[in-house]
Structure formats: C-alpha cells, structure tokens
Amino acid sequence: MTDVIGIYGASGFGREVLPLVREQYSSVELVFIDDGFQSDNLNGYKVLSFDDFLEVEATSKKLTVAIADSKIREAVTKKCEERNLPIINISASNVVILDEVEIGQGSILCPFVTVTSNVQIGKSFHANIYSYVAHDCVIGDYVTFAPRVHCNGNIHIDDFAYIGTGAVIKQGSPDKPLKIGKGAIVGMGAVVTKDVPAGTIVIGNPAKPLERKS
Ligand code: UDP
C-alpha cells in the first residue's frame, strides 16, 4: 500500500495544481477527485469520485481542494473534514514567504507567488500565479486571488472575496487599512483605491461598483 493524495477538482485549476503536489510530495500516488468528470483518466492520472476515493486502500490519504469557486471549495472542504481527511497546504517551489507569516490550512500558492512580512491569512486561500500579498495584510477564509493580483501593504480582505486577474489594490495604512468586505468581487484589471463593501462587485480604474441594468 502507498500514501495517496487526492487533487479535488479535475478541471483547469486542478490540472495546474497536480504538478505542484507532485513536486512537493515524492513517492506518493496522486489521483484527481471529481464528482462530475466524464472520464476515469486525466493527464495520465486516475480520476475518482469522492465515494471511490473513500474506498481506496492506502497507508494514508490526504487531499487538496483545487476548486476556485469559494463556496464550492467550502462545501467540499467541510465534507472532507467530516471524514477526517487531512487537507494539505500546497506551495510551488519558487514561492517567496518572508517573516512572520501565518497561513491557514488548505492553501494553494501557485508559482511566482510572494507573501512578504507580517501577514495573516485564513483557511483555504488560493493565490494564483504571480500574485503577491505585501506587509501587514490580513486575509480571511476562502479568499481567492486570480493570476497577478497586486495586494499592497495594510489591506484587509474578508472571507470569500474574489480578486480578479491583474487587479491592483492600493495600500492602506496601519491606522486605516483598506478593507475589502466579505464576498466582494474585484473585476480583472480593477484598480481599487478605497474600501469595497461586502458583497459588492467593483470594476475599472478607479474601481467602482458595477451597476446592474434591470
Ligand atoms: N466539482 C466536484 N464536486 C463538487 C463541485 C465541483 O467534483 O461538489 C468539480 C467539477 O466537476 C469541476 C471542478 O470541480 O470539474 C471545478 O471546475 P471549474 O471548471 O468550475 O473551475 P476551476 O476551479 O478549475 O477554475
């Protein structure tokens, strides 16, 4: 029997994460876990349903939840926690992390990510390629950064926020951090210069709330 690691999500992000797991863990069997995949093989690896993964005989079983949607990620994470399946932290070999950084369980830090000093990050954080988090940021649970997010110093980002590709968030100050509220969405390329209320979608430069046409 061997140690097995499951990459939950056999879609685009899962295919990007599996090679990082392979690099971080040698001598383990890697499988994709997916509940909606039409084939039993992807990029040369088995694709199992969650139920089939539970049946796999192994010395140990762990997994990473490589699903970008934060609400789905939370549901899948809870399902795995209920089964006492350990959820691991994945970090590309060239990730840079400086001093006094805390990162919760289930993070995925993709290639070229940088987290500088005195940063606190909650559980299940995804930072896609080339993103950075600068000094004194506080990031909640299930936060997702698309590629190349520029998160400058003294920014607080609440749970379930999604920051789109190439967004730039202006730095706050120690007495007045810039705040991005719970479940907010920052559109790709947005330049965020002031607080974003919870549940709001902002786009553009300077970023403004998206006006929905009814
Ligand atoms: N998925 C799953 N179980 C769930 C919800 C989603 O296996 O309860 C899978 C879904 O079948 C899909 C993947 O998760 O293959 C999510 O992929 P998607 O293309 O939506 O986004 P990505 O996270 O790759 O950007």
- Residue having the nearest C-alpha atom to atom 3 of ligand 1: 35
Active site residue 135: yes
- Residue having the nearest C-alpha atom to atom 5 of ligand 1: 72
For ligand 1, whether the C-beta of 68 sits within 6 Å is yes
SS3 state at 128: coil
Can you give the C-alpha Rg of the chain in angstroms?
18
Task: Indicate the residue type of 80.
Answer: C
- Residue 211 pLDDT more than 90? no
- Residue 214 pLDDT more than 70? no
- Residue 195 pLDDT more than 80? yes
Give 77-133 pLDDT, tens digit per residue.
999 999 999 999 999 999 999 999 999 999 999 999 999 999 999 999 999 999 999
Q: What is the chain's mean pLDDT, rounded?
A: 97
> Are 18 and 32 contacting, i.e. CB atoms less than 8 angstroms apart?
yes
SS3 state at 121: strand
> DSSP letters along 48-88, please?
E-HHHHHH---SEEEEEE----HHHHHHHHHHHHHTT--B-
182, 175, 180: which is closest to 193 by C-alpha? 180
Residues with Cβ within 8 Å of 11's Cβ and at least 6 positions away in sequence, in order, are: 34, 67
> DSSP letters along 161-206, please?
-EE-TT-EE----SSS-EEE-TT-EE-TT-EE-S-B-TT-EEETTT
Cα–Cα dist 127/105, whole Å: 14
The DSSP 8-state label assigned to residue 21 in this structure reads H
For ligand 1, whether the C-beta of 34 sits within 6 Å is yes
- Residue 213 pLDDT more than 80? no
What is the reported pLDDT for 3?
97
